[in-house]
Structure 1
Amino acid sequence: MDINQEIHNAFEVIKEGGIILYPTDTVWGIGCDATNPEAVAKIYKLKQRAETQSMICLMNGEKMIYNVFKEIPEVAWQIMDFSENPTTLVLDKPRNVAPNIIAPDNTLGIRLVKEPFCFKLMERMKKPLVSTSANISGQPTPKSFKEISPEIIKGVDYVVNLHHDKIAGKPSTIIKLTNDSQVKVIRK
């Protein structure tokens, strides 16, 4: 399947408030426009997940990060520059995103991606992309497309037709950074 056609198809669904099932730089994810609270609510419902369990946003560059966070700790840039594996950073005081993806402690997890499909889709959206593993809350994270439950596949508005045969990498490392310079590793 043509990546540009898949980007077009996914973009059309997302701009109408739909949710997609798509390959990321780590595992298969369920996503939507991170600024659309109704679309975010659809993902919580599909995953049977409490809205207090926040989800992360994928971003494709500094401009997008600065649109969501006014203050970014210097160490965040160092971690992003030097991490060899996909790394999610949890940062303080997000703005310009749907309120229901912000954690109760006013933080948001973000990950910069280079994976071509995600990167180009966000380039077209000009907005961050919600990313959460393609499973019902509490179930194991699928390692490949064929491990994704039919309930998830039927519950999304569009399934991206790329990398269905690829085995996923491991979920990203998660590091929480506060504006007062505290660092906490949440998941290695």
Structure 2
Amino acid sequence: MSDFVIDQKEIERSCELLRAGQLVAFPTETVYGLGADAGNVDAIAKLYKVKGRPGNHPVIVHLSELAAVDNWAYLSKEARLLGETFWPGPLTLILPRKAHVSTLLTGGQDTVGVRIPSHPTALALLSTFGSGVAAPSANKFGKLSPTTAAAVKEGLGEEVSMVLDGITPDIGIESTIVSLVGEPSILRPGMLLPEDIAAVCGLELKLAYLKSEAEGESEPVVKAPGTLDSHYAPQRPLLLVERGKLGEVLLELGHKGLTCNLLAFADSQSLIDSVAQDLADKVSIDRSLFVERQAKDYARGLYGNLRHLDETGAASCIVVEEPPGDSAWHGVRDRLKRAGHGSSLQSLFLSV
């Protein structure tokens, strides 16, 4: 799809729908967004209703250029540096909101999230629309984010007025969210490295997502989207398993007569094959996907792979080999930990 041609008539039709208070789904370089006119409170209310999104969960305002941010938020020197470096791109900044910005957008807070996507279809839409578009991921709240137009249509159906097609998202998971209000923090990791962000803005950044992970619960105030303990979840329970325990978990599932769909690294395939041989007639793996140990490629295919494993066969669960822990993998690990929140072998065995 690299030679995809943007249909300007579809862009203009989408803008007409947005101005009329309707919802339009569109691709970004991260995932598909479900867009509403950020200046229309009725459209925002409709967006929350269709998503099934709690009112205290802020949404991100998408804009076409850095100059437009001044209409929505107060830009500090550090924020401007980050914008000039990483926009257009997969970075969201949490900034003090301007007075006219509706608290429906911000979850009742005095801050607003803003972003300039790099996807050509998204930029064409935003440039033609000429104002801010509020756009969380184009799926029901808490579920797997879509990375194709087909996945949006399957999940939302006629609740969205139009779904723009475009080049498949190149990043594959949601944007990195950096708050520059109060203690500078990365609230949600993405595919931008924390050390690169800190080097540009010259600030020491707290990795807030690691703190909440260690404490085992989310902050009482939802400062940014996608930060609940349970989020990005497939329908089937997801078990995130470190490499050293993969064989043990697969054996336990097999002995209980349960099957799984498996997402693992290619260099673990020999281990998996040996477990399958040991199980003989009690094979616990229904479907398997083996991927390379490359963070960017893994992220790009993550939601598509999880969707495939969620919809294929009759497995009891999805088993995912835990990715590495270095900063290049923080975004992927964050999504998988939230996708698997609350799932365990014990809960699976109790359901049998």
Q: Do Structure 1 and Structure 2 share a fold, with TM-score over 0.5?
A: yes
- Give the structure 2 partner of residue 177 of structure 1: 180
Deviates more, 1:148-157 or 1:125-134: 148-157
Partners of 2:6 and 2:85 lie apart in 1 by 32
| Structure 1 residue 128 corresponds to structure 2 residue 132 | yes
Counterpart code for 1:50 = P
Residues 100-115 of structure 1: pairs in structure 2 closer than 5 A: 100-115=104-119
In structure 2, do the counterparts of structure 1 residues 73 and 186 end up closer, same or farther at CA, with 3 Å as the change threshold?
A: same
Q: Give the CA deviation at 1:64.
A: 1.2
Q: Give the CA deviation at 1:125.
A: 2.0
In structure 2, do the counterparts of structure 1 residues 114 and 142 end up closer, same or farther at CA, with 3 Å as the change threshold?
A: closer
In structure 2, do the counterparts of structure 1 residues 54 and 33 end up closer, same or farther at CA, with 3 Å as the change threshold?
A: same
Counterpart code for 1:176 = S
RCO comparison, higher one (Cα < 8 Å, 6+): 1
Partners of 2:57 and 2:134 lie apart in 1 by 13
Partners of 1:51 and 1:187 lie apart in 2 by 19
Residues 36-75 of structure 1: pairs in structure 2 closer than 5 A: 36-69=40-73, 71-75=74-78
* CA radius of gyration, larger in: 2
- Give the structure 2 partner of residue 98 of structure 1: 102
Deviates more, 1:75-84 or 1:13-22: 75-84
Unaligned runs of 5+ in 2: 190-352
Deviation track 1:122-181 (CA, whole Å, cap 9, x = no partner) reads 222221111110111111212333333634132111121334xx2552211000111x5x
Give the share of equivalent positions with the same residue, in percent.
25
Write 1 or 2 for the structure with the bigger share of helix: 2
**Aligned pair partner of 1:150 in 150, 154, 161:** 154
Tell me the TM-score normalized by structure 2: 0.48
Deviation track 1:19-45 (CA, whole Å, cap 9, x = no partner) reads 111111210110011000111111100
RMSD: 2.0
Q: Is the 8 A contact 2:60 2:112 kept in 1?
A: yes
In structure 2, do the counterparts of structure 1 residues 147 and 117 end up closer, same or farther at CA, with 3 Å as the change threshold?
A: closer
Unaligned runs of 5+ in 1: none
Partners of 1:150 and 1:72 lie apart in 2 by 38
Q: Give the CA deviation at 1:105.
A: 2.5
Partners of 1:88 and 1:80 lie apart in 2 by 9
